[in-house]
Amino acid sequence: MTTLKIGRGAAVLLSLGTFAFLFPTGSWRADNLFLVPDLILCAALLVAAALPDRMAAPALLAAYCFSAGVLVTAVASYAVDGRLGIGSLIGASGALIMTTLLLRTGQAEPA
């Protein structure tokens, strides 16, 4: 299995997991600071995963970088409140790992 296929699968999992996480945690409220960034990262990951190979790699890299930024900020927000946001921590770790893999294998380089 190629890094790109793994990246696509992980993007779908991270996107769906983030979207599903909004409901049981009560985060689907207009006053949730992370609602719009979460929805953007879900859409960006799904769109990047669906693109043809040549465009998918750089799009996945950008989507993972955005996702890592949003999720690391969420982890920090939980930490400031004295809590551990395990879902955000797992998601941020996954996004950072996939970013590293795409960069190390050269998959995200333009053709």
Asked if 88 and 71 count as a contact pair (C-beta separation under 8 A), the reply is yes
Residue 87: pLDDT over 70: yes
- Count CB-CB contacts under 10 A for residue 25: 11
What pTM value is reported for the model?
0.89
Q: What is the pLDDT of residue 29?
A: 83
Of the given ranges (29-33, 76-80, 106-110), which has the lowest mean pLDDT? 106-110
Angle between the 3-21 and 53-80 helix axes, to the nearest 10 degrees?
40
